Amino acid sequence: MGEILGLGLTHFGGFMFPDEEMAARIGAAMKSPKLPDHLRDPANWPARMREEWGSDKGAAFAAKHKTDFFAGVSHIRAALDDFKPDAVIIFGDDQYECFREDLVPPYCVFIMDKFQVKPYQRARGIGGPAINIWNDPLDTVIDYPGATRIAKTLAAELLGHGFDPAYSYSLPHQDYLGHAFANTLLFLDHARQGWPYPIIPFAINAYGSALIREKGGLDGAGSDDTEMDPPGPSPKRCYDLGVAIARALKPSPWRVALVATASFSHAFLTDKNHRLYPDLPADRERFAELKAGNYAAWRELPLSQLEASGQHELLNWYPVIGAMAELGQKPSYCELLETYTMNSNKCVALFPPAG
């Protein structure tokens, strides 16, 4: 019988960079013509946001935010090492990377025997920082093994049970994995102990109606004169996909880790807060449900509600949550890292095998 371990974390790119750079999204939001004038003055921000911003543009808060995050990641990495998976399936959003105008599947399993990651490529492309916390050269390339047999078996099982994942034997548009996978792998190995586990990237169209229109969030302000794209897959479908994944893997001989990678609400997707800060009340609700193992509450949420709260990327968590529901696995560790200035609230969670 297979064993399944659930993990959850964020791939917030800011954690790769110096504390002083971590509030970079605030700078971008302040330049947006759509920001109401009164919010250009930090004196008019919510009290807690002003506190984080302090007199150093958030650098001291950023250091704490980063320390808290990597403490959580160390905890889940230790559990992963104890578990010794045969494969690690990572559910991550494709932000206009492999999913572009020519083909946008709801989700896609990448079946390859090796993958490349160029972790600093995207930040460089948008004028990001010149150094990172590991002092890696900016043209660093990292290789990861793939788990082709398990990936093919999973795709076949899902197709045989009424789910229809796209699959691909190559990465379109670029020769390296997208940011969600790259950052997650970098973070899970932040202590640089090495990464021996074969991976299966499972990309989800979490940006849905903003994927092409806003280039998956890269075009920060969005374009008012462009129609919305069709939506991503529904929360219910992604949850049920996770149920089907658990049912496919449980009778298998493999030990598989399922990794949800995404921040909760993103400032740059939260219109109700003028794209300046994330929707903390909504994130606290999702977090309370998750921590209590009330997965059914997540299943019932309409996509429109998630998108109104800038929680588009929660779709990456849904397959893991559906799988945990099916397997009866509750979180043994679950922490919410709250912030107004660091773009997004982040959750780190661990769901060990039951019994």
Q: If DSSP codes are grouped into helix, strand and coil, which group holds residue 266?
A: strand
Contacts of 173 (CB under 8 A, 6+ apart): 97, 98, 100
- Residues of 162-189 as b/e, b for ≥16 C-beta within 10 angstroms? ebebbbbeebeeeebbbbbbbbbbbbbb
């083909």: which residue's tokens?
103
DSSP 8-state secondary structure symbol assigned to residue 208: G
Residue closer to Fe ion, measured from CB, 158 or 180? 180
d(CA 237, CA 147): 25
Closest CB 10 distance from Fe ion, rounded Å: 9
- What is the nearest approach in angstroms of Fe ion to the Cβ of residue 222? 16
Name the residue nearer to Fe ion (CB basis): 52 or 93. 93
Closest approach, Cβ 178 to Fe ion, in A, equals 8
- Quickly list DSSP for 31-90: H-TTS-GGGGSGGGS-HHHHHHHTTTTTHHHHHHHHHHHHHHHHHHHHHHHHH--SEEEE
Q: Which of residues 13 and 352 has its CB atom nearest to Fe ion in the complex?
A: 13
C-beta closer to Fe ion: residue 86 or 93: 93
CB of 201 to Fe ion, least distance (A): 13
**Which residue, 97, 123, 122, 94, is CA-closest to 106?**
94
Q: How far is the CB of 81 from Fe ion (least distance, A)?
A: 25
- Pick the closer one to Fe ion by CB: 19 or 93: 93
The residue behind tokens 């993103």 is: 266
Nearer Cβ to Fe ion (130/218):
218
Please tell me the distance from the alpha carbon of residue 258 to that of residue 256, in angstroms, as a whole number: 6
Report the nearest approach of Fe ion to the CB of residue 55 (Å): 31
Residue 180 vs 246, nearer CB to Fe ion: 180
Residues that bind Fe ion (CB under 5 A): 93, 180
**C-alpha closest to that of 333 among 281, 287, 286:** 287
Smallest distance, Fe ion to C-beta of residue 180, A: 5
Nearer to Fe ion, 260 or 334 (CB): 260
The amino acid sitting at 259 is V
Q: Quick one: how many helices (H) and strands (E) in the chain?
A: 11, 10
Q: How far apart are CA 31 and CA 16, in angstroms?
A: 23
As measured in angstroms, the least distance from the Cβ of 13 to Fe ion is 8
Which residue, 93 or 307, has its beta carbon nearer to Fe ion?
93
CA-based nearest residue to 50, from 339, 272, 346: 339
Beta-strand runs (E) in the chain: 3-9, 87-93, 107-110, 114-117, 142-145, 166-168, 199-204, 255-261, 333-337, 346-351
- Specify the residue, 79 or 123, whose C-beta has the smaller distance to Fe ion: 123
Whose CB is nearest to Fe ion?
A: 93
> Least CB distance from residue 153 to Fe ion, whole Å?
27
Least Cβ distance, residue 337 to Fe ion (angstroms):
16
Alpha-carbon span 9 to 262, nearest angstrom: 6
